[in-house]
Amino acid sequence: MEMALLYIAGALMMGLGAVGAAVGIGILGGKFLEGAARQPELIPLLRTQFFIVMGLVDAVPMIGVGLGLYVLFAVA
Amino acid sequence: MRKGHRKPGVHTRIALQQFRKVFLIQVVSLVIIAGVLLLHSLSAAWSSLCGGLIFLLPGYVFVYRALVVQQTKSTPGAVIRQLYTSEIWKMGLSIALFIAVFILIQPLNPFSLFGTYIWLQLTGFIAQLRLNNSFLKL
């Protein structure tokens, strides 16, 4: 029973982290495409801003993924 | 210049310079944290070093694939494809390194590993926001 709960906990951590990252990066990509369609001359600037914000968006979900992997591989 | 590569533009060069500064700050803080934890125990220092490398290596690969390897076309679709591919590589590499550390490194101190990982994330946030003035205007 405890093992099953640990696996569920790890799966929830990784799954919810993946959902957060997917929503954030999806919105980011959509906004980039909107901006590029409106002002194509700004694509190089938007690209670097996209790159910077992408690095910030995926940081917190990766902590959740790391904790989930720790539960799955080291605790369970 | 290799085939399929072109010279990076002004914005890319600025972003690369900022990344180099942030990366240097993170490496220095990782060395300091590992040195301080070495006074506590060897496993804590080793775990913090592993946590730092798990953060820094995928980040470096992400920047290399996203900014250094320039595509010949800079259409919005090509840019999105390149950045998403780089992100997938970063996430995959992070997961592989986490799994490798949890399986191969024994004994492991999870608090120093995740503490260093989270600290480097925060350092990156703060340094990136301070270096990038356009975010401060928001």
Per-residue pLDDT averaged across A2-29, rounded?
A: 91
pLDDT confidence of residue A2: 84
Domains annotated on chain A, with CATH: 1-75 (1.20.20.10)
Query: Smallest CA–CA separation between A38 and chain B, in Å?
Result: 11
Q: How far is CA A62 from the centre of its chain?
A: 7
- Of B9, B21, B10, B33, nearest to B118 by C-alpha is B33
Give catalytic status of residue A72 as yes or no.
no
Name the band, by pLDDT with cuts 50, 70 and 90, for residue B6. low
What are the chain B neighbours of A11 within 8 Å (beta carbons)?
none
What are the chain A neighbours of B67 within 8 Å (beta carbons)?
48, 51
Per-residue pLDDT averaged across A22-38, rounded?
A: 93
- Of A19, A70, A46, nearest to B134 by C-alpha is A46
Nearest C-alpha in A relative to B86: A51
CB A51 to CB B67 under 8 A?
A: yes
CA distance B65 to B71: 10
Q: Give the SS3 label for residue B53.
A: helix
pLDDT confidence of residue B1: 46
Name the band, by pLDDT with cuts 50, 70 and 90, for residue B136. low
The CA distances from residue A74 to A31, B50, B107, in Å, are 39, 15, 10
CA distance A63 to B121: 9
pLDDT, one tens digit per residue, over A10-23 is 999 999 988 999 99
pLDDT confidence of residue B95: 93
Given a cut of 50, whether residue A28 has pLDDT beyond it is yes
CA distance B5 to A56: 27
Per-residue pLDDT averaged across B86-94, rounded?
A: 93
Per-residue pLDDT averaged across A55-59, rounded?
A: 85
pLDDT, one tens digit per residue, over B13-57 is 888 888 899 999 999 999 999 999 999 999 999 999 999 999 999
pLDDT confidence of residue B45: 94
Share of chain A above pLDDT 90, in %: 55
Measured in degrees and rounded to the nearest 5, phi and psi for residue B43 equal -65, -35
Write down the catalytic residue from A20, A24, A54, A58.
Answer: A58
